[in-house]
Structure 1
Amino acid sequence: MTKPTIHYAFPHQVNKDLTAIVDNVNSCIDTYTFIPLPVRAALKAASFGKLVAFIYPHAAPELLLPCGRLVLWIFIFDDLYGPLPVSDLIQVHGKLTAILNGDLTYANEHIMLQHFALSHQELSPYITPLWLERYIADWQYFFEGMILDKQYSYQSTIIYPSIEEYMILREKVGGIYPFITLSEIIAGFILPPEIFRHPAIQQARLTVSKLVTWTNDLFSVNKERENNEAMNLVAVIQNEHGCSWEEAYNTAISMHNQVLAAYITLRASWPNFGDFHARVETYISLLEYMISGNLAWYADNPRYQ
């Protein structure tokens, strides 16, 4: 299938500590000793450290490490735990939530739990109660999406959701919101509740979630078909409309561009946030770097060839 033709007007930057974070993430990969060596080599080739440097170009070195640990973690976690029975998912989700709440009882049970706990400890100097409440809610949203996805994906016969169902489920199972919320720490600005709840901020967060996950769908459609995964925009469109893959692909591109156009319109009439306006602008610029950096990473990535 032809590669997506997606373009953003947002600037793309690379963190100055690119080499260090690539090395750190590759070292982290080697600690996942249950993963066969050839698969670990493929993970290194995908360069998740580069993804971190692309989506967080302004993160300080002390924040790059936990961010890199988490970015790698969620890709491995999704591949490892996604196919498991619901009962297993519920159990591990409970342990991860306990870690987020400060309970380290399970922190040494499995390397997946160890890295999740370690990243949380590394972030602890920057965490506030308000931020933590949002962060936990983001992870629970993702965990809920994994459970709901079980009725569609990883079946002997794939059952595709409707486009309407997909819109709700993909936002959850995409797991983007914890990484959006990390941008508050990187910006050094925990959004006050009244700003966080503002419709413009919520639409900006939703835009990042949609554009990042839909970019993944466009680049990974062949890979996900092979893995019997149903939560892919192109596949869902093709199934519901009964059209060709090329037509479904073009429709997905069009939907992506409509979301992008709506966001550009929003930014053209962006509200004034008073005394916080400059800091909100910094935060929003970090979200836009996430969008452009994510696309830059997918381009020519061997994981999605």
Structure 2
Amino acid sequence: MNKLIIPKPTYPWPTIQSPIADSFADEVLSWYDKDYTFTSQEAVKRYKKQNMSQVATYMQPTTINIDHMRPLVRFVMYITIFDDYFELAPLHELRSVRDRIFEVMMGDDPNPNEIGLYRQMAAARKEWLLQGMPQFWIERISTNFYDYITYGVMEETPFKLAKTRIYPSLAHYFVIRKYSIGMMPYGDLIDPGLNFALPVHIYQHPIIQRLMQLLCFLITIQNDLASLPKEMVRQSEMMNIVFVLQNEYKISIEEALAETMRIHDEFVAEMDSLHASLPDFSPYQKETCNYVYHIKLMASGCQNWYDNAGSTRYKTQGFIIPQYGKEEEEL
């Protein structure tokens, strides 16, 4: 592994630095201690070293209003911890949690005895409503989170719980990862970050949906490359594009990495091309162009976080081993 050179994705558009990147470092520590202790003391200890509060600020660097950014930070924390904690949960448990999450994101307040994950979700929803985000947008992000669990996390579960290593085809991999990377609901955060909800008919336009899909794929590849050292030592991880390419084409890991970057760069070129040739979305042309620009900033900003935030999330002392219903193992 020491000799393996893992490439870093790059982008042809400028990367912007957030002026408030460090603003939530202390606040999120209280969230961990209050609402995320259901994960285990060891997990909380590791989360506090991961700089996850900066992900939202790196990916939405033009949002400088602290009150607008706070629910975005909450979201990146709770979707990340959800994925870590429930990754190996049985399907019947995931269905129950999925349905409860949808209820809370749509407006139901959690009970005092429920896990703190729901409290963070309810807090974010209330902050968005105070900001003036419309109900159709609340329904959008809630539905996309529901789909993230249903068509993403739950579709990965059979591969991760299999007693033998089974890989999806490359085509199947991309269908699942479009959802399981969590970027469809996370991409919805562009709207409150800009304090403008993209109208439903524009959001549903095939070009906007393709751009969101490309964002999912770019973040997926970034994540797979960043987590590759961690996943090479785990026994349950088959949903990494490098492993999928190796299995499908019977190639070396070096060849799989080169093919990964070729695929990545094709997605980047398509995103740039679509941005340059958007159809007429009048009277919201300016807002839609700005929205697409921020889709691109999300992609480059996430890679910027991997490269420069100094997170321990993908290092031995920082990463979380998913063991739903158990204490995380000491490493």
Q: Does the TM-score normalized on the shorter chain lie above 0.5?
A: yes
The aligned counterpart of 2:58 is 54
The aligned counterpart of 1:142 is 148
Residues 1:159 and 2:163 aligned together: no
Contact 1:212–1:294 under 8 Å retained in 2: yes
Equivalent runs, 1:253-264 vs 2, <5 Å: 253-264=261-272
> Partners of 1:66 and 1:124 in 2: how far apart?
11
Contact 1:26–1:44 under 8 Å retained in 2: yes
RMSD over aligned CA atoms reads 1.9
Contact 2:39–2:85 under 8 Å retained in 1: no
> Partners of 2:297 and 2:219 in 1: how far apart?
11
Contact 1:4–1:218 under 8 Å retained in 2: yes
> Partners of 1:153 and 1:280 in 2: how far apart?
39
Question: What's the secondary structure of 2:188's corresponding residue?
Answer: helix
Residue identity opposite 1:149 in structure 2:
E
Contact 1:4–1:219 under 8 Å retained in 2: no
Residues 1:116 and 2:126 aligned together: no
Figure out how many residues of one structure are paired with residues of the other and give that number: 305
Residues 1:103 and 2:103 aligned together: no
Contact 1:189–1:283 under 8 Å retained in 2: no
> Partners of 2:295 and 2:112 in 1: how far apart?
30
Question: What's the secondary structure of 1:190's corresponding residue?
Answer: coil
Q: 1:273 aligns with which of 231, 256, 281?
A: 281
The aligned counterpart of 1:16 is 19
Residues 1:194 and 2:204 aligned together: no
- Tell me the alpha carbon deviations over residues 141-160 of structure 1, each in whole angstroms, 9 at most, x when there is no partner: 10112111111114332321
Contact 1:95–1:106 under 8 Å retained in 2: no
Contact 1:24–1:65 under 8 Å retained in 2: no
> Partners of 1:46 and 1:155 in 2: how far apart?
29
Q: 1:252 aligns with which of 254, 260, 263?
A: 260
Residue identity opposite 2:88 in structure 1:
P
- Aligned-pair CA distance for 1:229: 1.8
Q: 2:306 aligns with which of 277, 298, 303?
A: 298
> Partners of 1:2 and 1:50 in 2: how far apart?
26
Contact 2:218–2:299 under 8 Å retained in 1: yes
> Partners of 1:96 and 1:177 in 2: how far apart?
16
Contact 2:86–2:94 under 8 Å retained in 1: yes
The aligned counterpart of 1:229 is 237
> Partners of 2:12 and 2:189 in 1: how far apart?
23
**What TM-score results when the alignment is normalised by the length of structure 2?**
0.86
- Aligned-pair CA distance for 1:279: 1.2
Question: What's the secondary structure of 2:313's corresponding residue?
Answer: helix
Question: What's the secondary structure of 1:74's corresponding residue?
Answer: helix
Residue identity opposite 1:114 in structure 2:
R
Residue identity opposite 1:6 in structure 2:
P
- Aligned-pair CA distance for 1:102: 1.4
Label 1:81 to 1:107 Cα distance change in 2 as closer, same or farther (>3 A). farther
Residue identity opposite 1:216 in structure 2:
N
Label 1:227 to 1:132 Cα distance change in 2 as closer, same or farther (>3 A). farther
List structure 1 runs of 4+ shifted beyond 6 angstroms.
Answer: none
Q: Which moved more, 1:149-158 or 1:253-262?
A: 149-158
Question: What's the secondary structure of 1:18's corresponding residue?
Answer: coil
The aligned counterpart of 2:222 is 215
> Partners of 1:154 and 1:129 in 2: how far apart?
37
Label 1:74 to 1:242 Cα distance change in 2 as closer, same or farther (>3 A). same
Residues 1:27 and 2:34 aligned together: no
- Tell me the alpha carbon deviations over residues 147-190 of structure 1, each in whole angstroms, 9 at most, x when there is no partner: 11111114332321111110100111111111111111222221
- Aligned-pair CA distance for 1:228: 1.2
Residue identity opposite 2:30 in structure 1:
S
Residue identity opposite 2:87 in structure 1:
G
Residues 1:63 and 2:68 aligned together: yes
Contact 1:51–1:297 under 8 Å retained in 2: yes
The aligned counterpart of 1:172 is 179
Contact 1:12–1:54 under 8 Å retained in 2: no
The aligned counterpart of 2:292 is 284
Question: What's the secondary structure of 1:221's corresponding residue?
Answer: helix
If asked which structure has higher relative contact order (CA below 8 Å, sep 6+), I would say 2
Gaps of 5+ in 1: none
Contact 2:78–2:120 under 8 Å retained in 1: yes
> Partners of 1:29 and 1:181 in 2: how far apart?
24
- Aligned-pair CA distance for 1:227: 5.0
The aligned counterpart of 2:324 is none
> Partners of 2:162 and 2:255 in 1: how far apart?
25
The aligned counterpart of 2:87 is 82
